[in-house]
Structure 1
Amino acid sequence: MANCLENFQIPPCVWFEGDNKRNALASIMAGTLFFMGWWFIIDVQSAHPDTNKAYHVCGVFGTISLFMINSVSNALVRGDGYTGGCFGPRGARAWLFMGFVMGFGAVIASCWILFAVYVTQQSEKNAPPVWPGVGLFLQNVFIFIGSLVFKFGRVEDHWN
């Protein structure tokens, strides 16, 4: 079976040449995931306007988490970056940890809402549709994955 694909050549991508474009590709992927997450909840709100507005707090906290996670450079977390200021690397690590906790909390809360409000009530006669809960969960998962792609998919430039 290996012989039939042996001479198969895939032409190289002209616009993507590896590490030179890694930051751009990570930014594009993270932005796309963030957009898709918010697009899900916009679709939910437009299709089901009677959805509880308090559930949007999960998405807001997920977005704040994205900014918290990506506002700290990897060099500062490792201790290679600027060490002055009030907190230094310990403060950066605490800030990053709180950002991850907030992101995980948003995903867990949206999962809780999905199952407690939408999935468990499907056996009832006037049960709400499941899509608002699924959309809320997908919003928070995509925002969190987008923040991880942006944080760990980039290569940082070192000014030595």
Structure 2
Amino acid sequence: MSGILDNCQWPRCCESCELGERRNVVASIVAGILFFTGWWICFDAAAIFPDNSVFNHAYHTCGVISTVAFFMINSVSNGQIRGDTYTSGCLGQTGARVWLFIGFLLAFGSLIAASWILFGFYVVPHEPNDWPGIAIFLQNAFIFFGGLVFKFGRTEDLWG
């Protein structure tokens, strides 16, 4: 049985979008903009609702954990995960894989916690101001997608 998507093709406009050597630069800029936008949204909600009654400032913990996960995910290269470049150290390739796995666990966990904050404390009780919950969720979503763009949008072929 032939694949259903065998005859599907990308639009013609995408053929001229070859980034080549600028791929790492574009991925880094896009990831930085996503990371910045996430924190900017959270700062906006904290500035609009400075008191703890509407916006509990303990909810910033999700963004901090998401930021730590961003750095953990991007601190190991794909070569270290494959075992091409990292052969020594206290744990070697296994340690790099465990580090990446824990980073992804923290990233997914903070995104799930942000959605729990949004729905558990703002949407379901029907608070009059939903913006703090939306801001916390958007912050973590932007940081999460920024981390994915920075990890998988770059190529290591251009480094050496």
* TM norm. shorter chain > 0.5: yes
Match of 1:33 in 2: 34
Q: Which one of the candidate residues 68, 75, 79 is aligned to 1:64?
A: 68
TM-score computed with the length of structure 2 as normaliser: 0.85
What do residues 100-126 of structure 1 show as CA deviations (whole Å, max 9, x unaligned)? Answer: 00000000000000001000111xxxx
Structure 1: runs of 5 or more not aligned: 1-9
Match of 2:99 in 1: 95
CA positional deviation for 1:17? 6.2
1: distance between equivalents of 2:128 and 2:96? 43
Distance (Å, rounded) in 2 between the aligned partners of 1:100 and 1:18: 27
Q: Name 1:149's counterpart in structure 2.
A: 149
Aligned-residue CA RMSD (Å): 1.7
Asked whether the 8 Å contact 1:121–1:128 carries over to 2, the reply is: no
Moved over 6 A (4+): none
User: What does 1:11-160 align with in structure 2 at a 5 Å threshold?
Assistant: 18-50=19-51, 51-122=55-126, 127-157=127-157, 159=160
**Structure richer in helix, relative to its length:** 2
In structure 2, how many angstroms separate the alpha carbons of the residues matched to 1:46 and 1:77? 41
- TM-score, normalised relative to structure 1: 0.85
Q: How far does the alpha carbon of each residue in 1:59-86 deviate from its partner, in whole angstroms, 9 at most, with x for none? A: 0000000000000000010111121111
Q: How many residues align?
A: 143
Query: After superposition, what is the alpha-carbon deviation per residue over 1:42-65, rounded to whole angstroms, capped at 9, x for unaligned?
Result: 110011112111100000000000
Percent same amino acid at aligned positions? 56
